[in-house]
Chain A
Amino acid sequence: MDRHIRWLLVTPAVLIVIALTIFPLGFSLWVSFVQYDFTLGPEHPWVGLDNFVENWKDPVWRASLWRTVWFSLSMVAIELVLGMLLALAMLRPFRGRRALMTLFVIPLFISPVVVGGFFDLFVRRPYGIANQLASWVWPGTVTIDFSNDSPWLYIVLIIADVWQWTPFMFIIILAGLAAIPDTLYEAADLDGAKPRQSFLFVTLPLVLPVVLIAVTFRLIDAAKLFDIIFSLTRGGPGTDTYTTSYYLYQQGFEFFHLGQGTAGAWMFMIMLTFVSYWLVRRLLKPLEEAA
């Protein structure tokens, strides 16, 4: 009985995924190896690896890859640290905690493309408030062009992403923290552990699997960073804020060099697969042990 039902239970989920992805994946694999470019015409001759090579010939693609790496790493790192600190701070009850929790999740409900648009509004001169705010905390009058000057535009992009996604880290880590039974701390107390020691040796190891799942999903999404770029900088000035996803979107969708864009997407996915597989193996280990 169990033997049948176990497969029966996974089948609907697997089927709907396959049903909706098999054609797109097959099609995109084919597109990667043929000429599929609106400007070049309606024929689709086989071009071998040309589409893949074409990406590597473009310095913008190469730069976008590195930018994607350090963008996503720094965004997720900041979100992780902030989310962790916030979860620790919010762990014990206090008055108004419930209301704050509701407030904290609000950014998750705003589309990233809209968040990007609004951060653009905050930082643009002369209408934005960024310089006014900076003048409050910084001596003198601040006149930074936040959306055009390096490194400020990177900082703005990262802040926008952090604003949106820290709640995600926060919630998941808080859940992990909340699940640690008091008995463990009591045991650590009895052993004479200092707060810092009990954090390092009790809290961290126990919360690590939760952190990993949050980091994995955030990292995958951050690596595909598109919406905020799309609405905040459009990749500019020049190509200074092109992420790989934005580059591929431009090539494939805006200018309709679909063959090249799709081939790039496949290469990008393979890279991402390696990273996430490595993460997932670490993720699965504690889950396996849990059983």
Chain B
Amino acid sequence: MSDEVFHDPNVPQEDYLSGLRLARRDFLLKSGLAAAAIAAAPTWLQSEQAAAAIKASTSVGAVRDPIAANAVAAAKKHSGFSMGRVNEAGPQALDDKNFSGPLWEKLTGIKTNLTEAPFAQIRTKIITENLAKSGALDSVEVSPAWIPDFADQGVILPIDALVRKNKAQATVADLHPLYRALARYKGKTWGFFDDGDVWALYYRKDIFANAKLKAAYKTKFKRDLRVPRSWDEFNQVAQFITDQMAPKVYGTGMGRALGNPGNQFYFFQQFRANGGRFFNPQTMKAEIANAIGVKTMNQILLQNKASPPGVEKLDFVSGWGLWLQGKTAMIMAWPPTGRISENISQRDKAFSFLPKSQIVGKVGYARVPGQNGEHAGAFIKCVMATSENQDAAYLYNQWATSPSISLQRVMLPYTLRDPYRISHYRSPAYKKLWKGADQYLVTLAEAANDAVLDLSMSGAGDYANALDRAMTSMYAGKDVKEALDEAAREWDSITRKLGVAKQRASYANFLKYPGATSKNTIRKLGQAIKV
């Protein structure tokens, strides 16, 4: 597929993107000024990103992005409309408040009326609005795992016709094939994918290069110390580092708190890397409590053992806190890890929930052990079926996720949007964000090539919650087999409640997604993207 389809075919891609390049010093200066005038609203206008986005949306010639510009042109007729949005409370919402919202209003005259909700409550807000049908919400952030339920219940709108009408097919073609597939369900497209939440392994290059450590490892295990490729190796290395360096540095330390954002991600990933499947596709009996499940759980418990004390209640962000202070040697985590490690985000005063990185330049990127990283969470921008101005909501989504605008958004220091487009992975501007950013982008693209997906089917939230609860009870000392059996019983009970036949169909549908198992990842399907 061509990467150039989304812009003027006469202009080479590099020219088009270089128009958006960041002048880093200038940017630093300006965000410093922005911090000084923290209360002053229009600081967003001063940023390079805003200027570039405006250019791409309005001008003609090299820097014009037709996807964005067409959306803006078509949306002008809705000027004065107040568009209801839902986004995740915290840094993610700053995108709407400081960047996309004001920009969109400046370009089209459409106001954004933002509701901020914590991740799990976004779903609730959408469902309750669907019940109320008050027309208060127009453009919403939907996690791929919710798409089946939302699509089946008619909560969100299929956008295929609108994409054709606005000639925006090219914006879909530029997505990584994994993300292209995620917004599709039952043969229709339900939104624009907007956040490449794939996990990778982040490790400390300096620790792995430590000669004394390497020698000691070799003596002990008769093999070389290297970035681990399997979970058994990971646990061995992590425990070794902890034994050698704790309490200064621990082998690992990942957020394990209940529901924050949930331990199921860890299990989903390692369980499938170990070759497990969630259900028997015929009987729909849960298969998480078998030998593979027990093995997976024991591996996870070993990771806890190599972690700093208190890891059982560590939330994900605090896990980042430890990492940035150099207290952990490896973590499997979301893409912002790479940016925050290099202090890209912390330069902006708006991004004030993490400490400064003390490990700048020391971080390496790799695929997660077991090779199949989880694609965990993520967002798709959807249009509410109850929206009173579906056209405006759709156009906003098209504009915000268009190649040029989304590139600016994934480069915003203060939000947590992650690269997801082929053009993002290849963006010269992004590569210049820090030394090693090119490697980072390669890793993300490769991770997406190998990624496995969250369980995305009817009742996904219930299944995840049952698993999350079982896992935290194991952290607190419950017997592994017993807890897994209980989780499997809960899964069966959920399946029974929702209807076995219905769930069977839903699971079968999930299995068709690339990345549903470790056997049908994008790479195995031969669609891998090379950066």
Contacts and interface: CB of A to CB of B under 8 A. Distances in A.
Instruction: Determine direct contact between A and B, CB below 8 Å.
Output: yes
Interface of A: 38-42, 54, 57-58, 124-127, 143, 145, 147-150, 233-240, 250, 253-257
B124 A254 contact: yes
B318 A145 contact: no
Given A42-B153, A250-B465, A255-B461, A238 B318 contact: no
Contact of A235 (B127, B258, B499): B258
B461 A254 contact: yes
Given A41-B153, A148-B312, A238 B462 contact: no
B469 to A, nearest CB: 5
A39 B149 contact: yes
Contacts of B267: none
Given A41-B153, A254-B124, A54 B497 contact: yes
17 contacts: A39-B498, A54-B497, A58-B493, A124-B314, A125-B309, A126-B308, A127-B321, A145-B309, A148-B310, A148-B313, A148-B476, A234-B259, A235-B469, A238-B476, A239-B473, A254-B465, A255-B465
Given A41-B153, A54-B497, A124-B314, 19 more contacts: A38-B149, A38-B153, A39-B462, A39-B498, A125-B310, A126-B308, A145-B313, A147-B310, A233-B258, A234-B257, A235-B469, A237-B312, A238-B473, A239-B473, A250-B465, A254-B465, A255-B465, A256-B127, A257-B497
Contacts of A39: 149, 458-459, 462, 498
Interface residues of B, number: 36
Contacts of B459: 39
B469 A239 contact: yes
Contact of B476 (A41, A125, A149, A250): A149
A97 to B, nearest CB: 40
Contacts of B493: 57-58
A127 B317 CA distance: 13
Contacts of A41: 152-153
A234 B473 CA distance: 13
Contacts of A233: 258
A172 to B, nearest CB: 35
Given A145-B313, A148-B476, A255-B462, A234 B258 contact: yes
Interface of B: 120, 124, 127, 149, 152-154, 257-260, 308-310, 312-314, 318, 321, 458-459, 461-462, 465, 469-470, 472-473, 475-476, 478, 483, 493, 497-499
Contact of B470 (A149, A238, A255): A238
A148 B474 CA distance: 11
Contacts of B483: 238
Contacts of B318: 124, 127
A39 B152 CA distance: 9
A240 B497 CA distance: 24
Given A40-B498, A54-B497, A253-B124, A238 B313 contact: no
Contacts of A150: 476
Given A39-B149, A42-B153, A240-B473, A234 B260 contact: yes
Contacts of A38: 127, 149, 153
A125 B250 CA distance: 14
B486 to A, nearest CB: 9
A-B interface, 4 closest residue pairs, ranked by CB to CB distance from nearest: A125-B310, A238-B473, A236-B258, A237-B476
A147 B313 contact: yes
A143 B310 CA distance: 9
Contacts of B314: 124
Given A124-B313, A145-B313, A148-B312, A237 B258 contact: yes
A124 B310 contact: yes
Residue from A145, A147, A148 whose CB has the most chain B CB atoms within 10 Å: A148
Contacts of A257: 497
A57 B312 CA distance: 29
A126 B462 contact: no
Contacts of B152: 41
Contacts of A126: 308-310
Contacts of B310: 124-126, 145, 147-148
Contact of A256 (B124, B470, B478): B124
B120 A240 contact: no
B312 A145 contact: yes
Contacts of B461: 254-255
Contacts of A57: 493
Nearest to A241: B258
Contacts of A238: 258, 469-470, 472-473, 476, 478, 483
A164 B192 CA distance: 46
A150 B476 CA distance: 8
Residue from A40, A41, A238 whose CB has the most chain B CB atoms within 10 Å: A238
Nearest to A36: B131
Residue from B314, B462, B483 whose CB has the most chain A CB atoms within 10 Å: B462
A198 B120 CA distance: 56
A171 to B, nearest CB: 34
A263 B321 CA distance: 42
A239 B483 CA distance: 11
B118 to A, nearest CB: 11
A58 B478 CA distance: 19
Contact of A237 (B260, B308, B309, B472): B472
Contacts of B465: 250, 254-255
Contacts of B124: 253-254, 256
Contacts of B258: 233-238
Nearest to B498: A39
B494 to A, nearest CB: 9
Nearest to A242: B469
B449 to A, nearest CB: 32
Contacts of A125: 308-310, 313
